[in-house]
Structure 1
Amino acid sequence: MKDSEPVVPAATQRRPGRGGPWAAGAFAAGVLALLVALPLAARDRLPDPVATHWGGSRPDGSMSLTAAALFPAVIWLGLVALAAAVRRFRGRQAPGAPGAVLASGGVLLSGAQASIVHANLDRARWQDAASMDAWVILIVLATGAAGLLTWLATRTPGTGTAAAGTAPTGPRGPVMTLPAGERVVWLSRTSNVWMQLAAALLGLGAAGTALAGATGLTSGHWPLTTTLAILALTTLACSSVQARVTAKGLDVGFGPFGWPKRHWSPADIGAARAERRTAAQAGGWGYRVNGLGTTVMLRGGECLVVESRQGQRFAVSVDDADRGAALLNSLAAGAATPAA
């Protein structure tokens, strides 16, 4: 068997990236609001000016409260413009870079703003501000983690070239002629813009309540922060899906990291087909179970439907489902054929 792995690409790539700009826009607006709101919400408990720079453990620079609220906001707008430019002009060469810039920059500036508010809170003079040592370590670690995780979640692997075509329908459904001695991969992704936007807003709510509590502005915030964080992660995991067919079978991964994941081996698959479904038929959006079986419904229209040998049905709304079904049926037929 050859080492090369030709790819049977999805017929269109328009759906996977449609939600990105909306979620990024919500994130950018939310970070901007946090940067301005944090110091202004605490203005009655802050000195004016406030300490904004530390030499060692002691503050050695200050800004007026208004400048401290607006200066990081201006830097943030510059980072947003930079990320937009990278996406516009270098998006194909560095698909994960814009998201990494936004995520790391947003965490860095939000963390710095929260630390400044915390250090100056209830101080009579900016010279009396608390040390920033512990905050600096936490901010650096969180910034690096945010940038790395976002880059991993938003980078897009290459698609390669088509390696096979679809033949007439067989007993299992559409089938595909596989090149002798070569491995073939089919990959398709789908995302739901509204669920991604909801996940971004819930995440910003969790971050806002966490920062407000960490600065000392509020207390008893952890139940709300935890609830919002869980809802954000759950919604994010349900907002996108990736279906991948290889010689090992079908893998369906959820969320930006493709986890959690469901797997079907070729020997488990009785038949596969493409079928048009609506959210009403599936019982709503997201991960649904009803009389049709299990459906991952992120947009109405074409779905890849897999029926196991035990009669269980699973459907996922992805593009180019007919070709994915054809490849699965060919692999399943090969698994069912006794070796000579």
Structure 2
Amino acid sequence: MRHDPVLRRAFMVGFVAPDALVAIALALQLWLMADLPAEVVTHWGSEGPDGYGPAWTYPVLTLAVGLGLPALMMAFTLPSIRRGERSPMLRLMPAIGVGFTALIATISTGSLLVQRGLEDGDQPSIGGVVVASYVVAVLIGLLGWAVQPRQELAQPSRQAVGPMPVAPSEKVVWLGRAEAGATLMAILIAVSIVLAGAAVWMWLAGDSVAAWILTGVVLLVALLTSASTVFRVRTDLDGLEARSALGWPRFSIPVEDIADVSVIDVSGLAEFGGWGIRFAPGATGIILRNGQALQVTRRSGRRFVITVDDPQTAASVLAAAAQKAAHADQD
């Protein structure tokens, strides 16, 4: 880390700075404790305060959320930087993390500050604190971006693939699957469990509105996970088709539209900003893990990238299809 300014600055912005902001916020919140009412407002609705709890709720929130999300983001970002990957997204992630911490730290501390010296039953206003918190978060986030070195997206290593030998009377088909990696599936399962648990809690607590909302979110997450984590992939003399395990969404590229086929090493975070069905300038991707992927370049220049096992064979079939189609046009 000492000799890599990109890694060092990312670590300072994404880890050290959030720790410092949380430490300052916790110190201020603990200093305010003696001047707070027995119960403080913990939630404001459209008509004012509508939730109350002990004052220690805010330091716990600041510590858990203010450090938790940035740590999770950096757990994905730093390994990519260590591998030598570079992109504006890898510069953006630490900046978002420290900006988010600034938001949580400011809004939590400000929420206690406006309640300092109040008596039980008083109705503090939170509007100014919310506005100030977002302003601080944006400024801190921009500063986190500015202090990091510039990162240009490095082009992925590209492996040209020759066409598979195919006789004029032969037909050839390659069938494969694109599946999410273990880490991505673990995250999706964990999120689903947390959301499902929150929905059950709301049902048991009798809050039917929140319960229905959370139940809908759980079902939506389950649907999106099912539709975007497993794809059946087919390459043949007609072109490429990638179809979700649910049947939709479906992506297809006819052989007439194929300009080039290759195998590349892809980084989901650096090149596409994450994993799943992704869109980037000049490219569409089904990026379910890092590593080797099939890349098909259309005649328009737009790329389609999908992470599959044995992309070399899939690419050679498509190269043969494109070559055969080109010869048919010449004839």
Q: TM-score surpassing 0.5?
A: no
TM-score by length of 1: 0.43
Q: Which has the higher contact order (CA 8 A, sep 6+)?
A: 1
TM-score by length of 2: 0.44
Report which of the two has the higher share of helix.
2
